[in-house]
Amino acid sequence: MSVANRPVHRPLSPHLQVYRRQLTSVLSILHRATGIALAAGALYLAIWVVCAASSPATYAGFQSFNTSILGRLFLGGWLFSAFYHLSNGIRHLFWDAGYGFELKDAYRSGWIVVGVSAVATLASWIVGLR
């Protein structure tokens, strides 16, 4: 067969309508979602220190948002995103270094990520969101 006619063996995108949901795909899209959430969180962190650098009244306004229901959801969501993206990010770095590609390893490390981020998130909510 000439080179030009050889079939192209490259991976094709999953077709979402017929794609079965599974742990690995859910964790993958969660990494992206939490990355975007953390990007918003980084802007919020900047707003926080800018408020702390201005008057007590400005800071009090900022704090009253943090202690509102919406603020609690926001900060709680940030903590979950941070712990999840952190532990799954370490999983990513192991892959980048060439480890953990076997399917059973990908599931095992995936469940570890679920466990670690669930425990860390719950602990931080209990201590921090009183």
Residues that bind another protein (CB under 8 A): 3-4, 6, 8-11, 32, 35-36, 38-39, 42-43, 45-47, 49-50, 52-53, 56, 59-60, 63, 75, 79, 82-83, 86, 89-90, 92-93, 96, 124, 127-130
* Cα radius of gyration (the chain): 21
Binders in 27-66 for ligand HEM, by CB under 6 A: 31-32, 35-36, 38-39, 42
3-class SS string, 79-104: HHHHHHHHHHHHHHHHHHCCCCCCHH
d(CA 63, CA 55): 12
- Give how many residues touch ligand HEM by CB under 6 A: 13
Q: Going residue by residue from 93 to 112, which x/- string records binding to ligand HEM, judged by CB under 6 A?
A: x-------------------
Tokens standing for residue 55: 């008057």
